[in-house]
């Protein structure tokens, strides 16, 4: 395997492409996401997105935030060659609601808000609550893994260059 530091820097673009693809799928074909979670109700863009454009040897960062923020500026940035570097997602599965940030270059999860769990009132409660929290976190980690694995197989196939990129460009250019 490659040296970890080299691998991190050389392939961080893949994480940004993953988030860009994810946004595209959420907007254009959300039903596709059901194959990654049988109980999925919805995955939607939350209240924050960061895009980066590193074309022309200069880094431009566009941040869109706010509960009712429009994503037109984001699509415009995509049209100019930007990619999504960070995304806030709202994920509903069964009766549970999660929110979290996902960063492209590291695939790190941050600001993860889980559904309510029972309180720890006695030492005996602790193990149950810990296992419940782990179960809930596993849902997010599992979802991110499954989506990324699906993406990476697509990214390394001919379909990516021959179909997917043109579809993403077309979507970004549409109003």
Partner 1 sequence: MGLLSSRNSITRYKVSGRLDEPVHETVYRRLKQHTIPKIETEGSEATIGWTSFENPYAPDFEGYSFVFGTYMVFALRIDKKSIPPKLIQKHYSLNVSKRLTETGRHYLSGNEKKAIKEAVINTLAHRIPAVPNVYELVWDYNTGSLWFFTNLKAMNEALETLFIKSFNLQLIRLFPYTSADLLSELSDNERDFLRNLGKNRSGE
Measured from the CB atom, the residue of 39 and 127 that comes closer to partner 1 is 127
Q: How far is CA 68 from CA 46, 78, 161, in A?
A: 9, 20, 33
Measured from the CB atom, the residue of 75 and 104 that comes closer to partner 1 is 104
| CA atoms within a 13 Å half-sphere pointing along the CA-CB vector of 148 | 16
Q: Which of 132, 137, 135, 131 is nearest to 110 (CA)?
A: 137
Measured from the CB atom, the residue of 75 and 168 that comes closer to partner 1 is 168
Measured from the CB atom, the residue of 133 and 170 that comes closer to partner 1 is 133
Q: Which of 13, 27, 90, 97 binds partner 1 (CB under 8 A)?
A: 13
Would you list the DSSP string of 117-161? -----SHHHHHHHHHHHHHHHHHHHHHHHHHHHHHHHHHTSHHII
Phi, psi of 92 (to 5 degrees): -115, 125
Applying the rule CB under 8 A, the residues between 111 and 170 that interact with partner 1 are 111-114, 120, 126-127, 129-131, 133-134, 137, 141, 145, 148-149, 152-153, 156
Rounded to a whole number of angstroms, the minimum distance from the CB of residue 174 to partner 1 is 28
> What is the contact surface with partner 1 in residues (CB under 8 A)?
1-2, 4, 7-8, 10-15, 18, 103-114, 120, 126-127, 129-131, 133-134, 137, 141, 145, 148-149, 152-153, 156
């Amino acid at each position: 395997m490659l040296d970890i530091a080299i691998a991190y820097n050389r392939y961080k673009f893949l994480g940004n492409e993953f988030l860009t693809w994810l946004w595209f799928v959420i907007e254009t074909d959300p039903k596709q996401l059901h194959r990654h979670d049988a109980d999925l109700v919805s995955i939607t863009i939350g209240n924050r997105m960061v895009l980066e454009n590193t074309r022309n040897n200069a880094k431009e960062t566009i941040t869109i935030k706010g509960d009712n923020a429009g994503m037109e500026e984001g699509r415009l940035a995509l049209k100019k060659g930007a990619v999504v570097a960070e995304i806030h997602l709202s994920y509903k599965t069964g009766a549970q609601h999660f929110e979290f940030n996902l960063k492209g270059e590291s695939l790190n999860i941050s600001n993860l808000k889980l559904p309510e769990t029972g309180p720890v009132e006695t030492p005996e409660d602790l193990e149950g609550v810990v296992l419940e929290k782990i179960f809930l976190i596993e849902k997010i980690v599992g979802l991110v893994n499954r989506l990324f694995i699906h993406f990476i197989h697509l990214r390394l196939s001919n379909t990516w260059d021959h179909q997917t990129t043109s579809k993403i460009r077309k979507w970004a250019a549409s109003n």
